[in-house]
Amino acid sequence: MSNVTVIGTQWGDEGKGKIVDWLASRADVVVRFQGGHNAGHTLVVGEQVYKLSLLPSGLVRGKTGVIGNGVVVDPEALLSEIARVTSQGLKVTPETLLIAENVPLILPVHGALDRAREAARGDRKIGTTGRGIGPAYEDKVARRAIRLCDLTEPETLDWKLDELLLHHNTLLAGLGAPTFEKADLMKHLLDIAPKILPFMAATWDILEAERRKGSRILFEGAQAVMLDVDHGTYPFVTSSNTIASNAGTGSGMGPGAAGFVLGIAKAYTTRVGEGPFPSELHDEIGRQLGERGHEFGTVTGRPRRCGWFDAAMVRHAVRVGGVSGIALTKLDVLDGQKELCICVGYELDGKRVDRFPSSPAAQARVRPVFETVEGWSGSTRGARSWADLPAEAIKYIRRIEEHIEAPVTLLSTSPERDDTILMKDPFDS
C-alpha cells in the first residue's frame, strides 16, 4: 500500500495545505480524518488563493475528496465553503466530494455552548475558536450526536433532539446563556438536509475498493500533534486525536492505512491561542518572524505567537506520531538572521528534561535550553535544489535532523507549489 498521511508536528499552521496540495498530484484520493472547521489550510495556486477548512485540499487538484467519520461537520460552514471555492472555479459535486454517512454534525447549539463556556473560564480560557467542535465531539462520545445519516429520518431526529437539548439547554441556562427551541433546530436540519445529503456515502467501502485497486490514498490531518487531545499540551489542545494512527479510525480503513507518515514543521515555531510556548520570542525577532511569515490564523485571523524552532517538541511529535520523514516549511522566513537558536530541551525546577511534561503546572514552569547556530545572508526563497541553498542553511537543516531524530525529506521555500525541494517521494516509499 502506497498511502501517505500528513500531520502537523507543532501546534498547527505549519503549511500542511501546500504540502497536501503538492502531494495530491501523486494521489488518487485525499481524505480528511479528524477535526472540524476550526482547522484552516491556505493554498496558493498562481494568483488564486484558496482558504479551506473542511474540504480536503486535493479538490484543488481535481482529485476525489473524502470527509471521513472522524471529522465533525458543520453543514452550514461546509456549504458556505463549497459555494466560496465554486465561485473561484473549483468543481465540488457529489462525484468529487464524499462525506461519511456517520459523521457527527455541529449544530448552532454547539457553538453557543462553546462560546459560553469559554467566556465563563475568564483568565483560564483555553483559546477555542468558539465554533462548537469540542461540544460536538463530546456528544459523539456521549452517544447523543446527530449524525449525517439521521437527516434521512425525521422521526429519529425528533427524539434525538429531545435528548440533545435536555443536556445542552441545562448547561446553557446554568451559564446564563440563551437556550434553544427544538422546533428551530428541527427546521434548521430539515432545511439543510437536501443540500448536504447528496454528498453522503459509505466512504469506508469506497476507500476499501480504492485500496484493492491499488489507488494512492493521501490522508490529510488537521491541527498538529501538540494539539492532540491525548499527546498535546493538555488542556490547551483540540478535541480529537491528530496523530497518524487515527487515520484508520477516522476513515474506517483500519490500522494499516497510514502508510508513510510525513510530519510538517516550520523552520521556526508558532502557536495561536493560549497555552505554554517555551521557545516563544517577545522581542523584535519574534515580531519580524510574524510579519515575514504572514502569521495570522487562517480560520480565526488571530496573530500567531512566534518563536525559535523547538526540536525537543518536534522529537516528541515524531515519536508519538509515528513520523517517517519531515517536510520543513518557511525556511525563507529566516533569511538574513545572523544567528538562529534551536530549542534542544528544557529546564524544569533546576533539572534538564528532554520532553514536554504532561502536567499543565509543569508545562508553565519549563524553560528552553537553546543551541545557537550561524544564520545566513543569502536567500532561500524559491530554491528548488540543495545547490540553491546557502551552506549555513543546509547546516541548520542538518542540526534539526539530528535533534528531532528524523530526516527532512521535503523542503518548502515559498508558498508557491513548485518552490519545493524533494529528497524522497513519500508515495515511493
pLDDT, one tens digit per residue, over 203-253 is 999 999 999 999 999 999 999 999 999 999 999 999 999 999 999 999 999
Residue 410 confidence (pLDDT): 94
Architecture of domain 108-196: Orthogonal Bundle (1.10)
Residue 298 confidence (pLDDT): 62
Residue 1 confidence (pLDDT): 52
For residue 42, pLDDT beyond 80: no
Distance from the Cα of residue 1 to its chain's centroid: 24
For residue 346, pLDDT beyond 80: yes
DSSP H or E stretch at residue 45: strand 41-45
pLDDT in tens, 126-135: 778 889 999 9
Instruction: Please provide the CATH number assigned to the domain covering 265-428.
Output: 3.90.170.10
Give the closest residue to 258 by CA, choosing from 327, 322, 314: 322
Mean pLDDT (the chain, rounded) = 92
For residue 274, pLDDT beyond 90: no
Q: Compute the distance between CA of residue 59 and CA of residue 220 in angstroms, rounded to an integer.
A: 12
Report the amino acid identity of residue 403.
H
Cell, residue 245: 494512527
pTM beyond 0.75? yes
Return the top range by mean pLDDT from 15-19, 196-200, 286-290: 196-200
State the CB neighbour count (10 A cutoff) for residue 121. Answer: 12
Residue 299 confidence (pLDDT): 63
Strand partners, 215: none
For residue 47, pLDDT beyond 80: no
Q: Model confidence at 325, in pLDDT bands (50, 70, 90)?
A: very high
Handedness of CA 383, 388, 390, 394 (dihedral sign): positive
For residue 367, pLDDT beyond 80: yes
Q: Say which CATH topology domain 4-102+202-260 has.
A: Adenylosuccinate Synthetase; Chain A, domain 1 (3.40.440)
Residue 44 confidence (pLDDT): 73
Q: Domains of the chain: which residue ranges? A: 4-102+202-260, 108-196, 265-428
Q: Model confidence at 117, in pLDDT bands (50, 70, 90)?
A: very high
Q: Which of 44-58, 59-73, 89-103, 145-159 has the lowest mean pLDDT?
A: 44-58
Phi, psi angle pair for 144, to nearest 5°: -125, 15
Q: Compute the distance between CA of residue 219 and CA of residue 266 in angstroms, rounded to an integer.
A: 20
For residue 429, pLDDT beyond 70: no
What amino acid positions are annotated as catalytic residues?
13, 41
**Strand, coil or helix: 315:** helix
For residue 300, pLDDT beyond 70: no
Residue 418 confidence (pLDDT): 83
For residue 411, pLDDT beyond 60: yes
Report the pLDDT averaged over residues 185-195. 96
Distances (CA, A) of 74 to 88, 141, 183, 198, 414: 21, 17, 19, 16, 32
Cell, residue 174: 446554568
Q: Compute the distance between CA of residue 427 and CA of residue 175 in angstroms, rounded to an integer.
A: 50
